Structure 1
Amino acid sequence: MSNLLVFSPYATRPHFTAYEGTIAKACQVRGATVEYLLCDGLLPECDMHWDSFPLHHPRPLDICERCTAGAKARIAEFELPYKWLGEFITKSEREEAFVWAQGLAVSEICKATYLTYPIAEWVQSSIYSYFRQFPADMSNWRVVNAYRGFLLSGALVSVGLRRYLETHPVDCALLFNGRQSITRVAFELLREANIRVLTHEMPFYQSGHIMVKPNARCWSNQPFADFWRDWGNIPLTRVAMQETLKWLVDRRYGRNLSWFTYNPSVNFNVTLRSHLKLTEGKKLLALFTSSTEETAGDTELESAYAWQSTWVQDVLDWVRKRDDVELVIRVHPHLSGGTGLTRAFDEFSFYEKMKVSAPSNTRVIMPDEPLNSYALMSEADVGLTFGSTVGIEMAMLGKPVVLAARNFYEVGTHIIKVRSRETLGEDLERSLGSFSARELRREAFRMAYYYAFAFELPFPLVSVFRVMDVKRNYSGTKALERGQDETLDHICNYLLETGPLFDSPTAADKTRSLAEEDAFLEWMEKTPDCLRDRNYERLLPIFKTLRGMGRMTKRAIRKMPFGSGNALLQAGQGFYRSFAK
C-alpha cells in the first residue's frame, strides 16, 4: 500500500483543491493511504496575498483565519484526513527562525540559507510576482520586509515538512505548481528525500485539461522534452490536424481559453501595415514580449539573455541599422494590469520610454493599446519571442520564429534558438533566409497537438468557468475507480505504482505515414481563409452587445439592498453551471 502526501498550503482555493482533491480521493479509492498537510496560519507571508493583486489591498488581518477555515472546509468535502503544519514545529524553532530572518543584513537577504537550504532562491519567484518587479528593489523597505516574511515562511516549512517526512512514511506526493515560495520549498525537500512528486497546475493551453509534471515544477520544459522524444516523430492523423487547427482558430478569436482573453476583436477589413503606417515590400519582424515575473531568475530556465529588456533593446539596435526590415514590438497585454494583477510599472515604464525613442522603422505597441496580436502575426514575416505562446502559433502559420528564452516549443528543430547575445545578429539574419514553410508548419502542428491535447491530460471530472470558478462533474466515488477515467488511471498509476504518466506510441503509431499530414497541409496552403470563422465573425457584434447588456445588468443587480443582489447572482451562477454541465 502506497502512502500519498498532499502538501497543500493554499487548499482554501477551490480551483486548486478541485483537481488535487479529485486525484487524492482517486488514490484513496485505489487503496492508498492519503493525508493532507495544511497550513494553520503560522506563515507571515504566503501567496494568498500579493501586493500586485487588484486594488492594492493590504494583507488582510484575518487572512490566516479565513484561509485555515476555507482549507478545512475544502478537505472536508473530500472526506480526506489532514494534519496541520504547525504540529511539526516547536515554539523554540519558530523563534529561532524568526530571529534568523530578522537578523539578516539587507545585503544578505537575496542569498540567505537556512538549515543549508537556499531559502532565498526558493522564495524569490513569489517576491517578483508579489511586486511584479524583477529584480527585487532591495532599497524599498516594503520589498525588504516582504522578503523577510517569505524567508521566515520558507524556513518554517523546511523545519515542519522535514519533521513530517522523518515521522511519517511517504512514498509519493502531490503538490501545486512547485514554483511559488513555500510550494518550491516543499518540492525541493520532497525531491531531496527521493519521494516521487507530481506537480499540478491549471492547463496553460487547453480548457478542460490539467497540467501535471512528474518530478518537475510547473514551468519546467524537461517533462515535455522527454515526451517529445517518444512522440515527436509520430505523424498526426487528419483528425488530430483538424483538432489542432480548431485550437489555433479558437485562440485567434479568444474562445475556449484557459486564461483571460488579451486581444480585442480582429478587424479583417483593415491591414495592419496601413494602420501602423509601415512600408510595403520590407520584411516585417514582430516581436512579442512576455510577462516574465513568474520565470525570472529561475536557474532551470536560463537562456542566452537573463533580462528580456536587454534582448528587446539588442533587437531594436539591430533593426535600427537596417533599411530592409521594419519592427513592431507588441508589449504583452498582461503588463497593463487588466487581467488578474496590477500594472507591472517598471516594465511598463521601460517600454513607454522605448516608444518615444524608437527609430522610424520601429513601432512599439503598449499593453493597453487595442491592437490584435493575431492580426500582427498574420501580417508579419518573422516572429520574435521571449518564450511567448505566440511562437508556436506563428510557426503553425509557417513563419520563421526566433526564440530568445525558454518554452516547450524549444524542442523544435525548425525553431531558431538564440545561442548567445553575440550571435543574435546571425540568428536574426537566418530568420530572413529561405526555409521550408511546410516542414516548419508540420513540426509546429505536432508540437501544439502533442502539448495541448496529449501532454496536458484531459480532465473532464472538473469544469472551469471564468478562469478560476470550478465545479466537480461527479458525485460519490464510482467515477474515481480504476477504469472509469483514463487520465486518473494514468496519474494514479504514476503516483502509486511507479508507472509511466503518459502512453508510449503503439506499433501502429510508429508505422503511420506522412500522407494525412501532407494532404491537410496542402489543403491549408490552398485555403487562405482556413484560419477564419466567418459565421462567428457575423455574430460578433451581437455577442458584444449582449456582453455589454450583461455587464450593465450585473451592476444593477449588485446595487440591490442588503446583499440580495450578490446572493441572486450566486444563485444564477449555480443554475448556469448546472445547465452548462
Structure 2
Amino acid sequence: MLRRLPSPNGPRIAFATVWGESSPILTALESILAVAIRLRGADASSLMCDRAFPACVRDSLGNHSMSIPAEYALSGLTPHRCRRCVHVINAYYKQSPIRQEQFSRFTQTDDLARIMELVDRLPQERYQTHVYRDIHVGEHAYASAVRETGRGTLMDSPYHWWLFRRHLIASILISDLTERMFQTVRPDRLVAPHGIYVDHGTICEVARREQIPVVVFSVSYRKDTIMLCHGDTYHKALVTEPHALWENMELSDTQRERLAGYADSRRRGTHDILTYHPSPVEEHAKIIKEIGLDMTKPVISLFSNVMWDAQLYHSYNAFENMLDWVLKTIDYFLKRPDLQLVIRVHPAEIKAEKKSMQPLKTEIENRYPSLPQHIKIVGPESDISSYSLVDISKATLIYGTKMGLEIALRGVPVIIAGESMNRGKGFTFDVESVDGYFQLLDRLSDIPRNTPEMMERAEKYGYHFYFRRQIDFPFLTDFQPGFPEKLKLTFDDLSALLPGRNDNLDLICDGILNGTEFVVP
C-alpha cells in the first residue's frame, strides 16, 4: 500500500491528455505513465482540453462554439462527443495525484472571431500549406480532415471545404492556447499520444518551437506493448533514428528463433492487437487460381496502405500521394506484358473500425474501366494471405505500409516509393524520384533476391523493432482498438509503479525524465 508521495521537486512533465471518450486506451496508458513519473519525484500535470477546442481529430464538431449548417448536421458526425470525452478523462484522473491544467483557462474573448477572420482572408487553395507563427497548421488540419472524411484527398465540395476550414481554425486556436499554457505551466518536457493531427500534432510542434523536448507514445502492434519516441510521431521518428541503435547487434540463435516465430505469427496476427485475416487463404495453388496468374511470367505485388491514415508531409515522397503512385505504376505496367502486377488493396479499407470512403479499387476502375490480363486487383474483402502472395512474388512495391520489413525478412526485394519506416535501413530499394522509381521497375525482370547482407540487416532491424522498440507493458492487458471495455489493470496498488518494481517501466520513465532512448537492451 502506497502511503506517501515523494515531493514533486523533479522536472515538470506535462501530459497532453486531450482525448478521452474516443481513445480510452491511450488515456489509460497516459494516466499510468503520469503516476509513475510522479512517484519518481517529477512534477507531473495533465493538460486537459475540457471542451476548449472547436474541433479535434476525434470530434469535428468540438465544443459547438462554431455554427454548424443544417445540411452538415446529419453528415455522420457525432454530436456531444466533446462532453463525454471530458467525462472519461475526469474518471481516469479522479483519484489520481496528477495536477490538471485546463486549456479553457487560457481562452480569450476575441480568439475565435480573430482566427475566423484570418482564415477567411486565405484563398482555399492555400489552406494546406498555411503556416501560423512557424506552426504548420495547414498540414495538421488537412491530415485531420481527410481522416474524418475517410479519404486520401479532399473533394472540391462545400462540405469538405467547410470541414477543412473548421480544422484549420481549430489548429490555429490550439497553437495559441498551447503557447499560453506553456508560458504558465513551463514544462521541462511534453508527453503526448500519437503526435499527429490537429490536436497533438499542433501541440507537439508548438513544444518543439519553444525548445521543449517532446516524447510521443502509442500502442504498438505486438500485444500488450507500447512504443515511445523522442521528438516526433513514430511515423517520422523511426525513419530517421540512428542506425547505431541496431545495426551493430549480434543476434543469438534464441533471438533469431524468436524473430522468426513472431514474423510467421503475423500471417494470422495471433500475437498482435488486431488482425484482418484470422483464417487466411494461404495455399499457393489456390491463390494462383483465384487471381488467375500465369506463373510463366514474374509476379510483382503492390501492397497499398489506407489512403486517409496519417497523411503527413515527408520530404522524401517522390509522388504526390499514394493514389498518384498507384496510378503511375499501372500506367507503367500497361507497357510491360512480360510481367504481372498484382495490386493487393489493404484490408483495413473495409475491415477496420473506420471504413475508407475512397476505395482504391474504385479509383482504379474509374481511371481504367478495363485492365489487361497481366494486371490484377485483389480487393480488401479478399482473405487471400498477403504473405503467401509475397512468397510467389519476384519483387514487391510499397508506399507506406509497415509490411515492408516482413517482406524483406522473407528474402523478397522491396521497392519503397513513399514514407515507410523501412527506408534507408539497407534492406530495401528506396525511391527518391519518379524517374528513379521507373528505372528500378525497368530492372524488375533481373532483380535478385535479397543478398545475405540485406537479410542480416533486416533481421537485426526486425528484432530491434519488434522486441526492443515495442516495449512490453504489463500494467494493462487486452488493449484492443475499438474495444475499451476489455481493458484490464493488472495491479491494484500504486506501489506497483514505484522505481525498481519493473525494468521496462524504469526504462520508460528514465527516457521521459532524462532523454535516454526508449529501447529495451
SS of structure 1 residue aligned to 2:499: coil
Letter in 2 for 1:428: L
Tell me the residue number matched to 1:8. 17
Amino acid at match of 1:215: G
Query: Per-residue displacement from partner, 1:269-292 (whole Å, max 9, x unpaired)?
Result: 734223322222221111111113
Question: 1:233 corresponds to which residue?
Answer: 248
Show the 5 A alignment for 1:313-392: 313-335=327-349, 337-345=350-358, 347-353=360-366, 356-392=369-405
Summarize deviations over 1:520-566 as a string: whole Å, max 9, x none. xxxxxxxxxxxxxxxxxxxxxxxxxxxxxxxxxxxxxxxxxxxxxxx
Aligned mate of 2:140, from 122, 143, 161 = 122
Partners of 2:368 and 2:377 in 1: CA distance:
5
Do the aligned residues in 2 keep the contact of 1:263 with 1:373 (CA within 8 Å)?
A: no
Residues 416 and 429, structure 2, Cα contact 8 Å, conserved in 1:
yes
Q: Shift in Å at residue 43 of structure 1?
A: 1.9
Residue deviations 1:419-457 (CA, integer Å, cap 9, x gap): 321122321244433355544333222222110110122
Between Structure 1 and Structure 2, how many residues are aligned?
495
Give the letter aligned to residue 39 of structure 1. Answer: C
Q: Distance in 2 between matches of 1:230 and 1:218?
A: 15
Q: Residues of 1 paired with 2:239 and 2:123: CA distance?
A: 41
* Aligned residue number for residue 80 of structure 2: 62
In the alignment, the residues of structure 2 paired with residue 486 and residue 194 of structure 1 have an alpha-carbon distance, to the nearest angstrom, of 29
Pairwise CA distance, 1:323: 4.1
| Shift in Å, 1:252 | 0.6
Partner in structure 1 of residue 162 of structure 2: 145
Superposition RMSD in Å: 2.4
Distance 2:216 2:60 in 1: 22
Match of 2:225 in 1: 209
Which runs of no fewer than 5 residues in structure 1 stay unpaired? 505-581
Distance 2:368 2:157 in 1: 28
The residue type equivalent to 1:16 in the other structure is: L
Residue equivalent to 2:503: 486
Distance 1:3 1:467 in 2: 30
| 1:476 pairs with 2:493 | yes
In the TM superposition, what is the alpha-carbon distance from 1:347 to its structure 2 partner? 3.3
In structure 2, the CA distance between the partners of 1:354 and 1:241, relative to structure 1 (3 Å rule), is farther
Q: TM-score, normalised to structure 2's length?
A: 0.88
- Kept in 2, the 8 Å contact 1:214–1:223? The answer is no
Number of the residue aligned with 1:246: 261
Q: Is the 8 A contact 1:355 1:363 kept in 2?
A: no
Aligned to 1:23: 33
Please give the secondary structure, in 2, of the residue aligned with 1:219: helix
Aligned runs of 1:213-224 on 2, under 5 Å? 213-220=229-236, 222-223=237-238
Q: Give the Cα separation in 1 of the matches to 2:199 and 2:519.
A: 28
SS in 2 for 1:357: coil
Q: Residue type matched to 2:110 in 1?
A: S
Residues 356-415 of structure 1, C-alpha deviations (whole Å, 9 max, x = no match): 422221111122233221221122121111122232112111111111112222133231
Separation in 2, partners of 1:134, 1:85? 31
CA 1:193–1:269: 2 relative to 1, 3 Å: closer
The amino acid of 2:53's aligned partner reads L
Superposition deviation, residue 62 in structure 1: 2.2
Which structure 1 residue ranges, 4+ long, deviate > 6 Å from structure 2? none
The aligned counterpart of 1:569 is none
How far off is 1:57 after superposition? 6.5
Report the structure number with the largest CA radius of gyration: 1
Identity score, percent = 20
Are 1:123 and 1:184, in contact at CA under 8 Å, matched by a contact in 2?
Answer: no
Q: Which one is further off, 386-395 or 422-431? A: 422-431
**Structure 1 contact 385–405 (Cα < 8 Å) conserved:** yes
Contact 2:273 2:479 in 1 (8 A): no
Per mean C-alpha deviation after superposition, the further-off stretch among 241-250 and 230-239 is 230-239
Q: Contact 1:351 / 1:364 at 8 angstroms: preserved in 2?
A: no
Gaps of 5+ in 2: 1-9, 62-73
**Comparing both structures, which one devotes a greater share of its residues to helix?**
1
Match of 1:192 in 2: 209
Query: Structure 1 365/69 Cα, relative in aligned 2: closer, same or farther at 3 Å?
Result: same
